Amino acid sequence: MTAAQDSPWRQEVPLSLFELYRSDNLEYVREQAGRIFTPHRLRAVGRAARLDAVMCSRRMRDISFTYASYGAEVQIACGELRDYYVVQIPLSGGMVVQHGRRQAWSGRETASVLSPFDPLRMRWSADCAQLVCRIERPALESRLSEMMGRSLTAPLSFDTAMNVADRPGRAWRLWLENIVAELSHPNSFVDDPMVLPSVEQTLMAGLLVSQPHNYSSALRRQQRSVSSRVVRLVVDRMEADPGFPHTTASLAKAVGVTDRSLQLAFRKELNLRPMEYLRQVRLRRVHNELLAAEAETVSVTEVARKWGFSHVGHFAARYREHFGENPSDTLRRG
């Protein structure tokens, strides 16, 4: 499935509730677009070229989304963006991007990511329509600093071409487009002050993880370090009190990560789910207690329930898989 095929839009214009203009006046279009982004030069290619430009724009807090099309082949040139980063996702057509010394073709399978530091030239095809995500520079660099656990030593700079046909770029693009689709409706839940900050933070983190940049290697090392630390903290909690009714959600909350992050960390570090590891801890505790007990003074059921097994039948099956004998056999050997 291509980027265009799995888009949440077909013919409708994204963010149509927030239309800024429809115009064939080149100077007016240039002036209005410059207010949303950066003052620039705009030229229609060909003497007979006539604009049929549309722009719709919606700002959240540190992120804004814009739908833009010119209806004619155009050239755009400007200096450094300075204060913000841009991701341009073509919904139709394409363009050539010259960003500093880097040049890239942006189309259905390749978005473009613009960092704030280099002059920019673009040539849009006549049928090019794009979804443009603007992210304020202080917010994105602050998010990266938080994820790395340290201050940045140099400005954040992305590779220009972004593959949005395959994971992880495709997943990030679909996620962004679904947010925009939701914002295109009145009374969107994304506007809720309890939701909006986390949406922006997660969208920025997703871009930092999915698109290569000059901190990618350092960020991966930090992620591995964080993953190891999170697993160690959770394992310590399990070992300290394996009989407690832990859940993945309660353990994730205790160490300040999401359920999904905890599961991924355990899979990466131990190749197990958190509850699988907890079950192994509990089985070891039962095994050790049965070995140390006298058969006349305790029962298998009592020991199993003490260490968190509420369903004795399931417990016995797991025990046999793990130790190769019934728990009652272990108790008799004690």
Residue 221 is part of a domain; what is its CATH number? 1.10.10
Is 234 found in the same domain as 181? no
185 and 169 in a common domain: yes
Which pLDDT band holds residue 203 (cuts at 50, 70, 90)? very high
Q: Is the pLDDT of residue 12 over 80?
A: no
- Residues 133 and 229 occupy one common structural domain: no
Question: Is residue 226 located within the same domain as residue 298?
Answer: no
Strand 110-114 to 19-23 pairing: unpaired
137 and 195 in a single domain? The answer is yes
The whole model's pTM is what?
Answer: 0.69
As for how many domains the chain has, the answer is: 3
In a domain, 7, yes or no: no
Q: For residues 157-178, give the mean pLDDT.
A: 93
Compute the average pLDDT of residues 251-258: 86
The answer as to whether 4 is a domain residue is no
Contact 80, 40 (CB under 8 A): no
Q: Return the minimum-mean-pLDDT range out of 1-15, 162-176, 178-192, 203-217.
A: 1-15
Domain membership of residue 92 (yes or no) is: yes
Pair 182, 209 in one domain = yes
Q: Does one domain contain both 109 and 258?
A: no
Q: Looking at the structure, do residues 265 and 289 belong to the same domain, yes or no? A: no
Same domain, 78 and 190: yes
How high does pLDDT run on average in the chain? 89
Based on the fold, state whether residues 295 and 254 are members of the same structural domain: no
* CATH classification of the domain holding 141: 2.60.120.10
> CATH no. for residue 328?
1.10.10.60
What pLDDT does 2 receive?
A: 44
Which backbone phi and psi does 60 adopt, to 5 degrees? Answer: -95, -95
Domain match, 226 and 152 both: no
Q: Which amino acid is at 324?
A: G
User: How many CA atoms within 13 Å lie on the side-chain side of 245?
Assistant: 2
Domain span holding position 131: 16-214
